[in-house]
């Protein structure tokens, strides 16, 4: 498997994930590939071709976070990977974990986010640029509308094709994981021709899955429901931007970014990564919570058909959280990244030994 340690806390938590996965006995040979800030400084690009080639070869990757420096001209490595490998669905489970404070006793939500379109498609026009001036003229003649001269513009494309495949993916996922309801979030009353396509396409495709309940909900109301009655939600299917925001909101309900795993999936390739970023404020201090990437590793093992190793990791994480003896500072403890990972790995070995 390709392993991209990443920036900031990435190398620390990636090492922790390797330690825990090794403890399950799963035979993984890692093809370690550097990407991110250090590579950019050395080679002039944060994402050398060999990284993409490695993932194409191995088909599956585990990745630490990669920083996107603001305003340097570098394209986000994360967005580039999703586009290059056509990883059109992001899967982000939010499960209430034992021992962690939460306002709600039962949270078990999976967010599936469309990963390639919407306002993240990268179609942008800089304020004051000649291109934006031409676009403003076109818009004035086509729509009779004036875009303010001091505005910047980002375009929001949402296609039937792009929506159809993520809807099929989401309903298949619901079936395979025994989830009974898919809730689509949108703002189709305002953005009729972008969110409208998402909503209508989802509703049409849902008819092919009569065994899975389908509902739609405006995104603002959905945010309220996530915060106030998360137990009424099962699988959320969202366009790119809403999915990004709502999945962090869900992570906040179950213990924060330190415990939120994720996957970016397409028909051909799979890239597993924690939801969190490179956390520059705690990088190098040994204070990062390894659980998010460890649980991302468990998702990867499931994907590889190593379901037993995945279950052992989840059980081990839950035991360590329940016992509260080796928690990192974000969870109120004093353990180091390595200390918590070691405790999880020891539990995994214990579970396997007693099986
Ligand atoms: P962040 O997720 O790195 O940090 C937000 C807060 O959460 C910080 O206080 C951080 O210390 C804390 N945190 C995050 N992960 C943690 C962990 N495992 N254990 C304990 N605390 C943790 O988000 P931020 O600061 O907005 O982004 C930093 C950089 O990461 C940016 O360059 C951003 O572009 C990048 N990023 C990369 C992602 C990826 O590679 N998929 C995802 C999100 C952000």
Residue 282: give its domain's CATH number.
3.40.718.10
In a domain, 312, yes or no: yes
Regarding the beta carbon of 263 and ligand 1, being less than 6 Å apart is answered: no
Give the contacts of 208 (CB within 8 A, at least 6 positions apart): 171
- Number of structural domains (the chain) is 1
Q: Is the pLDDT of residue 187 over 80?
A: yes
Mean pLDDT on 54-64: 98
In a domain, 324, yes or no: yes
Catalytic status, residue 211: no
Q: Quote the ligand 1 centre to 277 CA distance (angstroms).
A: 3
Mean pLDDT on 308-336: 95
Q: Is the pLDDT of residue 16 over 70?
A: yes
Q: Is the pLDDT of residue 177 over 90?
A: yes
pLDDT of residue 355: 63
Percent of the chain with pLDDT over 90: 86
Exposed, middle or buried: residue 255 (CB in 10 Å: 0-12, 13-18, 19+)? buried
Q: Is the pLDDT of residue 307 over 70?
A: yes
What is the span of the domain harbouring residue 295? 1-86+270-355
In a domain, 112, yes or no: no
Mean pLDDT on 168-172: 97
pLDDT of residue 125: 96
| Reported confidence tier of residue 220, pLDDT bands at 50, 70, 90 | very high
Q: Quote the ligand 1 centre to 351 CA distance (angstroms).
A: 31
Q: Is the pLDDT of residue 87 over 70?
A: yes
pLDDT of residue 325: 86
Q: Is the pLDDT of residue 138 over 90?
A: yes
| Reported confidence tier of residue 74, pLDDT bands at 50, 70, 90 | low
Exposed, middle or buried: residue 350 (CB in 10 Å: 0-12, 13-18, 19+)? middle
Closest to 249 in 3D by CA, of 126, 139, 111:
111
Question: For the residues of 147-178, what is the DSSP string, one character each?
Answer: PPTT--EE-----HHHHHHHHHHHHHHHHHTT
Catalytic status, residue 220: yes
More confident residue, 44 or 238: 238
Q: Is the pLDDT of residue 70 over 80?
A: no
Q: Are the C-beta atoms of 288 and 13 separated by less than 8 Å? A: yes
The pLDDT mean for the chain works out to 94
In a domain, 228, yes or no: no
In a domain, 249, yes or no: no
| Reported confidence tier of residue 76, pLDDT bands at 50, 70, 90 | confident
Regarding the beta carbon of 330 and ligand 1, being less than 6 Å apart is answered: yes
Mean pLDDT on 158-168: 98
In a domain, 212, yes or no: no
Regarding the beta carbon of 336 and ligand 1, being less than 6 Å apart is answered: no
Regarding the beta carbon of 292 and ligand 1, being less than 6 Å apart is answered: yes
Catalytic status, residue 172: no
pLDDT of residue 201: 98
In a domain, 230, yes or no: no
Q: Are the C-beta atoms of 118 and 240 separated by less than 8 Å? A: yes
pLDDT of residue 73: 61
Ligand 1 pocket mutation, candidates 9, 278, 281, criterion most atoms within 8 A of CB:
278
Give the contacts of 261 (CB within 8 A, at least 6 positions apart): 92, 93, 272, 274, 275, 292, 293, 294, 295, 296, 298, 299
Regarding the beta carbon of 188 and ligand 1, being less than 6 Å apart is answered: no
Among the options 7, 118, 187, 234, which is catalytic?
187
In a domain, 350, yes or no: yes
């Amino acid at each position: 498997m390709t392993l991209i340690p990443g920036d900031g806390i990435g190398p620390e938590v990636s090492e922790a994930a390797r330690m825990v996965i090794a403890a399950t006995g799963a035979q993984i040979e890692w093809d370690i590939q550097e990407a991110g800030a250090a590579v950019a400084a050395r080679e002039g690009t944060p994402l050398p071709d060999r990284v993409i080639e490695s993932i194409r070869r191995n088909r599956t990757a585990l990745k630490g976070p990669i920083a996107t420096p603001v305003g340097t001209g570098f394209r986000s490595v994360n967005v580039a990977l999703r586009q290059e490998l056509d990883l059109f669905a992001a899967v982000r489970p939010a499960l209430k974990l034992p021992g962690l404070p939460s306002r709600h006793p039962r949270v078990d939500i999976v967010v599936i986010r469309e990963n390639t379109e919407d306002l993240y498609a990268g179609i942008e026009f800089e304020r004051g640029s000649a291109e934006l001036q031409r676009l403003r003229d076109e818009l004035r003649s086509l729509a009779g509308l004036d875009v303010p001269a001091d505005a910047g513009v980002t375009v929001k494309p949402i296609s039937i094709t792009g929506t159809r495949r993520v809807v099929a993916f989401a309903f298949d996922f619901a079936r395979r994981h025994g989830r009974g309801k898919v809730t689509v979030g949108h703002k189709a009353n305002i953005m009729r021709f972008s969110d409208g396509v998402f909503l209508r396409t989802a509703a049409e495709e849902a008819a092919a899955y009569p065994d899975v309940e389908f509902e739609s909900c405006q995104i603002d109301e959905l945010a309220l429901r996530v915060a106030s009655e998360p137990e009424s939600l099962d699988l959320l299917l969202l366009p790119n931007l809403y999915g990004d925001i709502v999945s962090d909101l869900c992570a906040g309900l179950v213990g924060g970014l330190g415990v939120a795993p994720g996957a970016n999936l397409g028909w051909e390739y799979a890239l597993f990564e924690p939801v969190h970023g490179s956390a520059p404020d705690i990088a190098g201090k040994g204070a990062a919570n390894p659980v998010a990437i460890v649980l991302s590793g468990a998702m990867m093992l499931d994907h590889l058909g190593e379901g037993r190793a995945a279950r052992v990791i989840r059980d081990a994480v839950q035991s360590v959280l329940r016992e509260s003896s080796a928690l990192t500072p974000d969870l109120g403890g004093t353990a180091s990244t390595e200390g918590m990972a070691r405790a999880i790995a020891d539990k995994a070995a214990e579970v396997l030994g007693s099986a």
